[in-house]
Amino acid sequence: MKDIIIIGGGGHAKVLASVLKKHSEWNPIGYTDPKDSGPLLGLPYLGNDSIIKLLILEKNLQYAVIGIGQIKNIESRKRIIQSFESTGLTLPTIISEYAIINEDVHIAKGSVIMDGVIIQPGVRIGKYSIVNTGATIDHDCQIGDYVHIAPGVNLSGDVIVGNNVLIGTGARVVQGIHINSDVIIGAGSVVVKSILRSGTYIGVPARILSKD
């Protein structure tokens, strides 16, 4: 098994810790965070991010995973990821052994697939994306980089999702829809028409939020 640390100590990191502890390939040895929140499902607090260089030198640490979900904005999460890439650590793709990943699926580096996810054939997922608990992605969907598909989301077949997109909890997207980059879909929304303009969309059917 390969030693790996979790970057972050919040709720998303806790779920990721659970995925890693059940995994046959990974051995989570602890987490880093600006503050000590105590054990994370039994995993120790290793220190703040400054400890990482020491772990690389003294423990020959090679792997880390970003346990930070969708924070205030996607750009902040991207900067955090880029800062850890610069340390020389590998940020691998993590796929729960309790997810169903069917044939002809490609998932790029650094993406995380949580428990209960179902991904059907022909799907492509970009780098550093999150497919969260119980989400389903049907055939031939194309998902960009830095996308967060929240728990319980359903994407029908042939959906195209750009980069830097958040699809909120329980949202549904009908077949053949195109969602532009830099879009937020609110929780529980239903997308029945392509979204070609960046912004925040909510409702059934989903509509762009008023700027008033």
Residues with active-site annotation: 139
CA angle in degrees (0–180, nearest 5) for 187-181-101: 70
Dist. CA 66–CA 211, nearest whole Å: 33
- Give the amino acid at 19: V
Q: Are 20 and 4 in contact (CB under 8 A)?
A: yes
In whole angstroms, what is the distance from residue 210 CA to residue 80 CA? 31
Q: Residue 29: how many CB atoms within 10 A of its CB?
A: 17
The number of beta carbons lying within 10 Å of the beta carbon of residue 37 is 13
Most distant CA pair in the chain: distance in Å?
55
Q: Which residues pair with 190 in a beta bridge?
A: 172
Asked if 52 and 61 count as a contact pair (C-beta separation under 8 A), the reply is: yes
Beta bridge partners of 148: 130, 166
